Amino acid sequence: MAGVDFTCNGTAVTVRADHPHLLAALREELDVTSPKDGCSPSGQCGCCTVLIDGKAVVSCQQSMAKVAGKAVVTLEGLPDDERQRYADAFAACGGLQCGFCIPGIIVRAKAQVDKKGTDLTREDMARHLGAHLCRCTGYVKILDAIEAVATGKQVAVTAPGGVGSRGIKYEAVELALGDRGYVDDLRVPGMLHAAFRLTDHARATVNHIDVETARQASGVVAVFTAADVPGELRVGLIHKDWPVLIPEGGRTSYAGDVLAVVVAETRQQARDAAELVAVDYDVLRPLTDARAAIDDPEIAVWGTDGNVLSVSEYQRGDVDAALAASAHTVHEVFRTQRIEHAFLEPESTLAVPSDDGRHLHVYSGGQGVWDDRNDIARVLDVPNDTVTVELVSNGGAFGGKEDMANQAQTALAAWLLQRPVKCTLSREESLLIHPKRHPIEMEYWAGCDADGKLTALKVRAVGDSGSYASVGMKVLERMAGHASGPYHLPTIDVRSVAVRTNNPACGAFRSFGANQAQFAMEGVIDRLAEAVGISGWEMRARNVITPGAEWGPGQIMDDGCLGAARCLEVVRPDYEAARAAGKAVGLGLGLKNSGLGNGFKEIARAVVRFEADGAVEVRHCWTEMGQGVHTVALQVAVEELQLDPSRVRVIVDTTRELGAGQTTGSRGTLMGAGAVKAACEAARAGGCEVGVDYEGEYRVDWTHHLGEPGVEHPTIHSTFGYATQLVVVDRATGKIERVLAAHDVGRAVNPQLCEGQIEGSVHMGLGYALTEDFPADPVTAVPTNMTLRSLGILRPKDVPPIDVILVESPQPDSPYGIKGVGEIGLVPTAGAVAAALHDLDGEWRATLPMRRTAADGAE
Ligand code: FES
Ligand code: FES
């Protein structure tokens, strides 16, 4: 086969002509990995942007024929001082979180800065970033960084000090340049590539899987099906109901089911051969309506015995009598949509057997490597200690990497072949396989007295949990717990049901049921405020929980809840000013627990170790996915041990049983800080000797279950974060012109990173409110928005200015008063947008998305 000649970073190269696009040639043959693959070959994320003859282009859209004779430059090929300038600006401005999108954005920025220099405006750059997606940052600090480079502004690249100090994110420079590898950037000698054959039907009996043609295809080494699984077929975080492969005679339950794993010499060969696997099915009627599925005689999910996954409920007082006696009542049905996490890094796993064939090392970007290890061992039918799952910091997750996506199948292939195997999902596979945010239908009845004091709340909710359980029952439980928002209700009656269907599986997603509930509750508050004749702000102020108040499920709130009223108070001047200026305004007030709670025993451990070279290792096992858990660990160590930050080495140690479970719900920040603090205390007590592992533990084992019998005031959660968001709309244009986000984080470990989390959450929350959707066909249950572009994520030019106010109202008994910020981020956003739009045109909205963009105001 003739090769293709071009120059790459100034060096003449010849590559194979059969690569599907330039990106594959760069990454797979030349091992140039700063261009990342977020969506190839669709050209919709911008992560793979390179310069071709000086022009910024997405390399996954460049055929090899088009590249011949051209000059290709990637971030690796820029002069060192220029690389450093961009990396410093992104690090200093906090312009990155998971970092996956950043190398591509820097290449785009370079092209524009080269062209326009100091004339490059922020608006211009925002427009050019339309070719890129960032799911983490909300673009605010990305634009700050590009502006700093364009204007030659000096930036201070300062490591953070102790708790509460600003400073750059751990590994920020390496992340910005694309030098800190993700799983797909790892290379091992002799490595093979795996690809999946997914089902064609969401619900069908699989009669026969014919792998012979695929087996004969070029480069194919092996094809595996369920018949090759030596151990258990099913895995799962709570219920073991999720088959890693559907066998002949088995039944598919959603469009992401895997039928065969093809292993080949190259990724493209594996993917091409996977299409050659022929399957004979009996196609069955998929169950796609959650409410109807409750009573449907057919079972949606193969191997289960009913379609009701869970019921969560609690009551206090006589709600019906209180509603009847209320001066004002409201009754409304709210509906939220299914949405996709759209983390920029598709799931990737590399599994490597040991030389003696007795051990398997799995590199994973998942959120719970211990759960992954245990399930992989069950599938392989080996003891747990035969498998090590090493955590590799990932390119975004937001809850979507809690369940295994391809870890078990990749491990299976590597174990059976006794060769290293990597499997990286395509964007389409990623969209089909991992669980989404639940669509929930919520019927609310609420009442208040003539002064606007809430009297009663009744809620009936049905959530479409899709096929496999994942943590769907916990999401609906959290939705039920947070149903009343941060308000005191003297009477309450809540019931939420999670239902299995054949739609995409639903599970964890930032805010975990709390944002669905509080979109509804905030809508109720605004409708009642109008009935009473008081402002939305006043209605909230009259009902917000205070210490000693009984919160929804009966928990007596402690001083930590003072933050709710404080968030409300700090936005008041802006709220009043916007109203006085004739703007349409909307408020949202929300709360979200941190950690798991609900009676779950949570234990986290960390290790501090002084090394002979002067370094101080901080070992934990949380997933760094952009949220900054490594930086938190570093800052706690600096605070407790009074160290120079350059001495601290943060290590994700998943080789020993530090436990901790899933990195979810701001647990990494809260519990990680607690565990590192305890380890530092142990080190101090032990004299900080070199070579000694000082272990610390943080434990929350005193919460109660929702509706726990015999407990009048259950402590459902140890910690909550609070937030108020103000949305201001221009009446003339209908545009959202500003979002003010006041967040009580208890204690901001690093204010700059904290602001970035909030800006990114608001961006995600605006998309949730206005444009994002991941529907499935009501007849086939197959998702219909199968590209990143079609998901409705807001582009940079559509994001209004976001101002952040950090409120620090400490949580009693938590380390440093920390409450966490990642989860609460977008809880109030949709309610605030709905209220502002109602103020604009008088229409109440009860369904998401509201189908307009923030920028153009068009319905
Ligand atoms: S990987 Fe090329 S644009 Fe997404
Ligand atoms: S930093 Fe942009 S996608 Fe994570």
In angstroms, the CA 428 to CA 409 distance is 18
Q: Which strands make up the sheet holding 49-52, listed edge to edge?
A: 11-16, 3-8, 71-73, 49-52, 55-58
Q: What is the 3-state secondary structure (H, E, C) of 603-639?
A: EEEEEEEECCCCCEEEEECCCCCCCCHHHHHHHHHHH
Tell how strand 491-500 and strand 454-466 pair up.
parallel
Residue closest by Cα to atom 4 of ligand 2: 98
- Range 412-424 average pLDDT: 98
pLDDT at 858 over 60: no
In angstroms, the CA 248 to CA 667 distance is 41
Q: Is 98 in the pocket of ligand 2 (CB under 6 A)?
A: yes
Q: Is 97 in the pocket of ligand 2 (CB under 6 A)?
A: yes
Bridge partners, 461 (sequence order): 442, 496
In angstroms, the CA 304 to CA 788 distance is 32
- Per-residue pLDDT, 504: 98
User: Closest ligand to 141 CA?
Assistant: 2
Q: Cβ(475)–Cβ(498) under 8 Å?
A: yes
User: Closest ligand to 47 CA?
Assistant: 1
Q: Is 396 in the pocket of ligand 2 (CB under 6 A)?
A: yes
- Range 13-33 average pLDDT: 97
- Per-residue pLDDT, 717: 84
Q: Cβ(221)–Cβ(800) under 8 Å?
A: no
Query: 44 C-alpha to center of ligand 1: Å?
Result: 5
What is the residue-averaged pLDDT of the chain? 94
Q: Is 778 exposed, middle or buried (0-12, 13-18, 19+ CB in 10 A)?
A: exposed
In angstroms, the CA 727 to CA 326 distance is 30
pLDDT at 665 over 70: no
Among 102, 623, 624, residue to substitute to test ligand 2 (most atoms within 8 Å of Cβ): 102
Q: Cβ(625)–Cβ(401) under 8 Å?
A: yes
Write out the two tokens for 735: 């545009």
Query: pLDDT category, 620, cuts 50, 70, 90?
Result: confident
- The CA-to-CA distance between both ends of the chain, in Å, stands at 54
User: Closest ligand to 131 CA?
Assistant: 1
In tens, the pLDDT along 386-398 reads 999 888 889 999 9
pLDDT at 276 over 80: yes
Amino acid at 65: A
Q: Is 344 in the pocket of ligand 2 (CB under 6 A)?
A: yes
In angstroms, the CA 657 to CA 607 distance is 11
Of 826, 794, 824, 857, nearest in space to 129 by CA = 794
Alpha carbon 114 to chain centroid, angstroms: 34
Q: Is 39 in the pocket of ligand 1 (CB under 6 A)?
A: yes
- Range 767-790 average pLDDT: 97
User: Closest ligand to 102 CA?
Assistant: 2
pLDDT at 662 over 80: no
- Per-residue pLDDT, 718: 82
**3-class DSSP state of 87:** helix
Please, which residues have CB within 8 angstroms of residue 409's CB and are 6 or more apart in sequence? 194, 196, 224, 244, 245, 258, 261, 423
In tens, the pLDDT along 355-379 reads 999 999 999 998 888 889 999 999 9
In angstroms, the CA 92 to CA 167 distance is 7
Residues of the chain with pLDDT > 90, as a percent, come to 85
In tens, the pLDDT along 730-766 reads 999 999 999 999 999 999 889 999 999 999 999 999 9
Query: 795 C-alpha to center of ligand 2: Å?
Result: 13
- Per-residue pLDDT, 608: 93
Among 45, 49, 93, 98, residue to substitute to test ligand 2 (most atoms within 8 Å of Cβ): 98
Among 22, 26, 47, residue to substitute to test ligand 1 (most atoms within 8 Å of Cβ): 47
Residue closest by Cα to atom 2 of ligand 2: 134
Q: Cβ(682)–Cβ(608) under 8 Å?
A: yes
Strands (E), 540-672: 584-594, 602-610, 616-620, 648-652
In tens, the pLDDT along 631-660 reads 888 999 999 999 999 999 988 776 766 666
Among 26, 33, 34, 60, residue to substitute to test ligand 1 (most atoms within 8 Å of Cβ): 60
C-alpha pair distances (Å), 814 with each of 559, 627, 700, 770, 833? 12, 19, 10, 36, 32
Query: 135 C-alpha to center of ligand 1: Å?
Result: 14
In angstroms, the CA 427 to CA 253 distance is 21
pLDDT at 859 over 60: no
In tens, the pLDDT along 281-315 reads 999 999 999 999 999 999 999 999 999 999 999 99
Query: pLDDT category, 441, cuts 50, 70, 90?
Result: very high
pLDDT at 602 over 80: no
Helix or strand run (H / E) with residue 459: strand 454-466
- Per-residue pLDDT, 657: 66
Q: Is 88 in the pocket of ligand 1 (CB under 6 A)?
A: no
Query: pLDDT category, 670, cuts 50, 70, 90?
Result: confident
Q: Is 48 in the pocket of ligand 1 (CB under 6 A)?
A: yes
Residues in the chain: 859
Among 39, 136, 398, residue to substitute to test ligand 2 (most atoms within 8 Å of Cβ): 136
- Per-residue pLDDT, 2: 79
Please, which residues have CB within 8 angstroms of residue 564's CB and are 6 or more apart in sequence? 486, 544, 545, 589, 591, 722, 744
Query: 367 C-alpha to center of ligand 1: Å?
Result: 24
In angstroms, the CA 68 to CA 626 distance is 37
pLDDT at 703 over 60: yes
In angstroms, the CA 492 to CA 315 distance is 5
Please, which residues have CB within 8 angstroms of residue 198's CB and are 6 or more apart in sequence? 255, 256, 257, 258, 259, 429, 432, 433
- Range 25-34 average pLDDT: 97
Q: Is 417 exposed, middle or buried (0-12, 13-18, 19+ CB in 10 A)?
A: middle
User: Closest ligand to 394 CA?
Assistant: 2
Residue closest by Cα to atom 3 of ligand 2: 134
Query: 36 C-alpha to center of ligand 2: Å?
Result: 12
- Range 427-446 average pLDDT: 98
- Per-residue pLDDT, 626: 65
Q: Cβ(382)–Cβ(358) under 8 Å?
A: no
Q: In 10 A of CB 817, how many CB atoms?
A: 18
Please, which residues have CB within 8 angstroms of residue 745's CB and are 6 or more apart in sequence? 721, 754, 806, 807, 808, 818, 819, 820, 821
Query: 786 C-alpha to center of ligand 1: Å?
Result: 15
The helix, strand and coil proportions of the chain, stated in percent and rounded to the nearest 5, come to 35, 25, 45
Q: Over the Cα atoms of the chain, what is R_g?
A: 26
- Range 520-532 average pLDDT: 98
Contacts for 779-782: CB closer than 8 Å, 24+ residues apart: 779/286, 779/288, 780/201, 780/202, 780/286, 781/202, 781/203, 781/254, 781/255, 781/286, 781/287, 781/288, 781/501, 781/502, 781/503, 782/202, 782/255
pLDDT at 548 over 90: yes
- Per-residue pLDDT, 821: 80
- Per-residue pLDDT, 639: 93
User: Closest ligand to 182 CA?
Assistant: 2
pLDDT at 666 over 70: no
Query: 21 C-alpha to center of ligand 1: Å?
Result: 11
- Per-residue pLDDT, 424: 98
In tens, the pLDDT along 263-274 reads 999 999 999 999
Tell how strand 360-364 and strand 387-391 pair up.
parallel
Residues of the chain with pLDDT > 70, as a percent, come to 97
